[in-house]
Structure 1
């Protein structure tokens, strides 16, 4: 190394007079180190070496059934979807390098929004670069300082972050508790701006919201309603429009938020609405204005997938069959589940604690089955869950294989 060239000082461990900004994460660091110190594989850093289909991948050199991908309708390998992406990549290049309000709106972005408007039968559609940004942007822009956001205590992180960014007053209520929600609504000052935020399907337990009753209460108090249908779009409802459609209240919802990273099979987020002033959001919503738009290949795959989902009734029926079969099979084996009956494509298997949950996860992956290990504080009531998400492309034979692997692993770990 040449003399006379100043070299940056090496980072030093914090001493008594220096604050360690990582200290807030010490509990999580200890939890992770505790799991890994037992020689276990890191359940939060699995590498898929090769993806073979919507339901199979090579993990740790072994062919593995995928039961934790949110690929509900199996669109990731649809030939038409893939071909649309290839063509857009060839015609428009790899990216837009700009925001939607500058140079980042290509023909594909408009076609994707057209597909969403047609899918939902609504007047307006706005595509974001991620589903997280859709919630962050819409909620923070609509509900600002002095307004009130009424939301379920188990709402997704993107919903909470949207509330924080907008600086509205947050009014949480007990999960799926209609009476608790109504009590909170009655305490809000008369004349205040109110946004009620609900989810069609809650991603941890896979349970659905009583939207019909909750939307009625919201409207009685003069509130606008936003429903996040990320985990129901494409699957639930006669046309796959989500729980609001299934419960007959879609026409009473002011804003529907969704994502392309579940049933649509790619990445991105969106909001659809019938509000006559909605288009102004394109100029005032910061996560939309100040983010580069989705690559042309992504919006092309999304638009193609959305249009195919309009005619996905057979796939939806098969996915419901898979969900009922797996739910009943796991319950009959003696596992404790998050719902009494299957309410969505998510089935949560409740573990006694994190240590046994990690052991069970490892036993499953070693036997060729991948699920999600979900832990506190992300889970309700500090539960440890093995979260299973079914796919319309899972065959009946694969569902039986899944049950056999759960039985073998559960007995080996001592869960059942």
Structure 2
């Protein structure tokens, strides 16, 4: 039957329905601050929101959003190519281009649309796309639409990338290499210096998705490419406004003037209503804060280090290095689900990640740190994880 493919998910939802609160789609009743909320009646620390700089609740961003709604209305009711290009959209594109030190930028309604749209458009039927095996769903969705030959290279493996480019011969010059800055599940950073060197050697093109690294890495917050010192080697950068900038929307920038022509070929841009002016205004304000308050990144990394080291000292299986994304891996599904519920009961809301969303067959409790978290909140999170060990719902690596 047509619906047979959904049965496994239906069974999983039935399994979760034994409790009033579900790990997927739990309803937030009230937002108290950037790091606290009431989720289905329980006050919790929000430790899975990707609100890296804490700007979703910044009063300056809220004020800018309210003023824009009063001036421009609640929505554009059209795409950028029809009636949906407002002065605010054009101003934000100019500011994004200036932030990255390039001449071209495109603003999209969502980060998913930005990444999917660019990946579907830049390479075509006569081209090749080489993408990291652990790429985000938006990347996979986009490349499937491109018509290009799609080849995966092993996650963060420059050697495997070089081998596959070498095999392409002259076709390497028509190849788009795709990598992410920070990978969203385990928080590891791509080896962009090595990837850029290989890209130069074979004459390929490079697209970097900075969704989880824009505002987080780099001297001025431009992301992993800036931190690696290889921005001149990156042909396209895509990202989102829904993480560090605390809003919704996405962007693409390029040092190639052709980007302004490419925008008229991106179906995800052409056939989508543009972002509401209130959202664009809050993003513009958030971008100013990113530029003017680098101490927020410092606090973010202090908080990430505090949580990562605390969980590692408990012996929990965390990711390979300190990152604002701190994930704890489980091999048993029932244990992972029970652990999520106990954390929630302890006043900590994190993300439960199950295959195929996780990068392996394991299950994850995924934490994302914010500059707005206090040391006391992070210690509470660590204490809640210690409770998992006491309850036998997690196994220290040393005991494995």
d(CA) in 2 for partners of 1:62 and 1:33? 23
- Kindly indicate whether residue 381 of structure 2 is the aligned counterpart of residue 399 of structure 1: no
Report the aligned-residue RMSD: 1.2
**Corresponding position of 1:117:** 97
* 1:196-220 deviation line (CA, Å, top 9, x unaligned): 0100010011000000101110121
- Find out whether 1:288 has 2:274 as its counterpart: no
1:149 corresponds, among 122, 129, 138, to 129
Question: Which consecutive unaligned segments of at least 5 residues does structure 1 have?
Answer: 1-19
In structure 1, which of residues 135, 138, 146 is the aligned counterpart of residue 118 of structure 2?
Answer: 138
Q: Which residue is 2:64 aligned to?
A: 84
Q: Select which of 329, 333, 349 maps to 1:370.
A: 349
CA distance, structure 2, for counterparts of residue 197 and residue 414 of structure 1? 37
- Residues 58 and 64, structure 1, Cα contact 8 Å, conserved in 2: yes
Q: In 2, distance between residues paired with 1:71 and 1:156? A: 18
Secondary structure, counterpart of 2:80 in structure 1: coil
User: SS of the residue aligned with 2:219?
Assistant: coil
| Matched residue, 1:67 | 47
Displacement of 1:287: 0.8
> Following the alignment from structure 2 to structure 1, what is the Cα–Cα distance between the partners of residues 282 and 129?
34
Contact 1:35 1:355 in 2 (8 A): no
Are residues 1:346 and 2:322 paired? Answer: no
Alignment partners' CA distance in 2, 1:154 and 1:312? 32
Normalized against structure 1, the TM-score is what? 0.92
User: How many angstroms apart in 1 are the aligned matches of 2:13 and 2:328?
Assistant: 21
Q: 1:413: how far off?
A: 4.1
Say if 2:26 is the partner of 1:46. yes
1:98 corresponds to: 78
Please report how far the alpha carbon of residue 293 of structure 1 lies from its aligned counterpart in structure 2 after TM superposition.
0.3
**Equivalent residue pairs, number:** 394
Report the equivalent of 2:398.
Answer: none
* In 1: Cα distance, 2:14 partner to 2:374 partner: 38
- Indicate conservation of the 8 Å contact 1:115/1:307, yes or no: no
Residue matched to 1:10: none
Residue 349 (structure 2) pairs with residue 333 (structure 1): no
TM-score by length of 2: 0.96
Instruction: Write the mapping of 1:236-251 to structure 2, written as runs, cut at 5 A.
Output: 236-251=217-232
Say if 2:360 is the partner of 1:360.
no
Distance 1:62 1:409 in 2: 19
Matched position secondary structure for 2:292? coil
The answer to whether the 8 Å contact 2:328/2:364 transfers is: yes
CA distance in 2, matches of 1:194, 1:258: 21
* SS of equivalent residue, structure 2 residue 143: helix
Larger Rg computed on CA atoms: 1
Distance 1:282 1:43, change over 3 A: same
SS of equivalent to 1:135: helix
Separation of aligned partners in 2, 1:352 and 1:387: 14
* Cα drift, residue 86 of structure 1: 0.5
Question: Using the alignment, how far apart are the partners of 2:262 and 2:77 within structure 1?
Answer: 21
Please say if residues 116 and 142 of structure 2, whose CA atoms lie closer than 8 Å, have aligned partners that are also in contact. Answer: yes
Q: Deviations over 1:106-154 (max 9, x none)?
A: 1110111122112111111100011111111111111110210001000
2: CA distance, partners of 1:249 / 1:354 = 40
Q: CA offsets, 1:4-23, max 9 Å, x none?
A: xxxxxxxxxxxxxxxx2110
Shift of 1:409: 3.2
Contact 1:360 1:410 in 2 (8 A): no
The corresponding residue for 1:180 is 160
Distance, in Å, in 1 between the alignment partners of 2:21 and 2:310 is 27
The separation in 2 between residues aligned to 1:389 and 1:167, in whole angstroms, is: 35
Q: Secondary structure at the match of 1:276?
A: coil
Aligned match of 1:232:
213
Q: Which residue number corresponds to residue 304 of structure 2?
A: 323
- Unpaired segments ≥5 residues, structure 2: 396-400
Q: Is the 8 A contact 1:322 1:399 kept in 2?
A: yes
CA positional deviation for 1:175: 0.6
CA contact (8 A) 1:154 1:380 kept: yes
How big is each residue's C-alpha offset from its partner over 1:321-369, in whole Å with a ceiling of 9 and x where there is no partner?
Answer: 1111111100111211122x20x21001011311110100000001100
The secondary structure found in structure 1 opposite 2:32 is strand
1:388 aligns with 2:360: no
The CA distance in 1 between the partners of 2:114 and 2:5, in whole Å, is 28
Equivalent residues of 1:101, 1:282 under 8 A apart: no
